[in-house]
Amino acid sequence: MDAGTLLRLRRRAHGLSQRELALRAGTRQATISRIETGHEVPTVHRLNQLLTVLGERLELHTVHLDTERPAADVHADQAKSMTTRLEDGFALASFASQLAGSAHR
């Protein structure tokens, strides 16, 4: 699930319009719309701020994969900040979602 879908589902679960969420979060309705439609990918920090306005918090965890990667790739990833790695993950998820969407057309 991408960040926009998550935000839309949680906003709707709380019975708020995009405008109401935007007012509570101190942003514009257009910003919420861009995030929810995937035209803007929020940082992990920003997504968590928006969820906090809804009375929720973002929790992320990792799952071990049974694949082997070259040590150089692992070290390069470990050198990145946690924020950068999470943003990379959200960008990859958004890309995969776009690919899945185009496959259904």
Domains of the chain: residue spans and CATH: 3-103 (1.10.260.40)
Q: What is the pLDDT along the chain (105 residues), one digit of tens a residue?
A: 899 999 999 999 999 999 999 999 999 999 999 999 999 999 999 999 999 999 999 998 887 776 777 777 778 888 888 888 888 888 888 888 888 777 665
SS (H, E, C) the chain: CCHHHHHHHHHHHCCCCHHHHHHHHCCCHHHHHHHHCCCCCCCHHHHHHHHHHCCCCCCCCCCCCCCCCCHHHHHHHHHCCHHHHHHHHHHHHHHHHHHHHHHCC
pTM above 0.85, yes or no: no
